[in-house]
C-alpha cells in the first residue's frame, strides 16, 4: 500500500464517521419536542382549584349548628315567656345572636377564600415556573445537539475536501499538478 493512501483512507473514514455522527445528532435534535405537561404540578393546581371553588370546610355544619341553636332558644322562649312582649324581646335577642354568628361565619369564609386564592396563585406560579424551566432545558439540549451535529457535518465536508486535495496531489484525478507556486504555472489548467 502506497504511503500517500493511508492519510486519504484516514480522512475518508473520519469524514464518514463525522457525517454519520452529525446526521444522528441532527435526528436526535429533531426528536426533542419540549413538553408543557407535568402531572405533579397539574395535580397540585387541580387540588388548589377545587379547594378554591368549594365552600369552606365545616361551613355547612356551622350553619346547621347556628340554626339549631336559634331554634332551641326560640323553643325555650316559647315555653318560658310569661307574655308576648317578653317573648318578642327574647326572640329579638336570639335573632341578633344568630345574625352575629352568621356574620362571623361569613367573615371566616371570606378569609378562607383569600387564603385559598393565595394557594391557587402559588399553584399557577409553580406550574408556569416548571413549564419555563422544562422548556428552557429541552430547548437548550435541542440547540446543543444541533450545534454539535452541524459541527460534525462541517467537519465531514472539510475532511472530504482535504481528502480530495490529497487525491488531486497524488494524481488520482488524472494529471498531477506541478509542485510550487500555483499562480506562476500557467500551463496547468
Q: Is residue 180 part of a domain?
A: no
Query: How sure is the predictor about 42, in pLDDT bands with cuts at 50, 70 and 90?
Result: confident
- Domains of the chain: total: 1
Q: Is residue 21 part of a domain?
A: yes
- Give whichever of 59-63, 139-143, 175-179 has the largest mean pLDDT: 59-63
Q: Is residue 137 part of a domain?
A: yes
Q: Is residue 181 part of a domain?
A: no
Q: Is residue 189 part of a domain?
A: no
Q: Is residue 183 part of a domain?
A: no
Chain centroid offset of residue 25 CA: 24
Q: Which domain holds residue 54?
A: 5-174
Separation between Cα atoms, residue 76 and residue 87, nearest integer Å: 10
89 pLDDT above the threshold of 70: yes
6 pLDDT above the threshold of 90: no
Q: Is residue 188 part of a domain?
A: no
Amino acid at each position: 500500500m502506497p504511503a500517500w493512501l493511508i492519510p486519504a483512507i484516514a480522512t475518508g473514514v473520519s469524514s464518514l464517521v463525522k457525517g454519520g455522527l452529525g446526521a444522528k445528532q441532527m435526528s436526535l435534535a429533531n426528536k426533542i419536542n419540549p413538553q408543557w405537561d407535568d402531572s405533579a404540578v397539574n395535580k397540585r393546581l387541580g387540588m388548589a382549584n377545587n379547594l378554591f371553588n368549594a365552600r369552606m370546610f365545616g361551613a355547612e355544619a356551622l350553619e346547621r349548628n347556628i340554626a339549631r341553636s336559634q331554634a332551641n332558644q326560640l323553643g325555650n322562649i316559647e315555653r318560658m315567656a310569661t307574655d308576648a312582649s317578653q317573648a318578642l324581646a327574647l326572640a329579638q335577642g336570639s335573632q341578633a345572636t344568630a345574625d352575629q354568628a352568621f356574620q362571623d361565619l361569613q367573615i371566616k369564609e371570606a378569609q378562607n377564600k383569600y387564603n385559598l386564592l393565595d394557594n391557587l396563585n402559588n399553584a399557577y406560579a409553580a406550574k408556569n415556573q416548571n413549564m419555563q424551566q422544562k422548556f428552557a432545558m429541552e430547548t437548550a439540549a435541542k440547540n446543543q445537539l444541533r450545534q454539535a451535529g452541524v459541527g460534525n457535518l462541517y467537519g465531514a465536508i472539510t475532511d472530504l475536501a482535504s481528502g480530495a486535495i490529497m487525491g488531486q496531489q497524488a494524481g488520482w484525478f488524472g494529471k498531477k499538478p506541478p509542485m510550487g507556486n500555483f499562480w506562476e504555472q500557467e500551463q496547468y489548467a
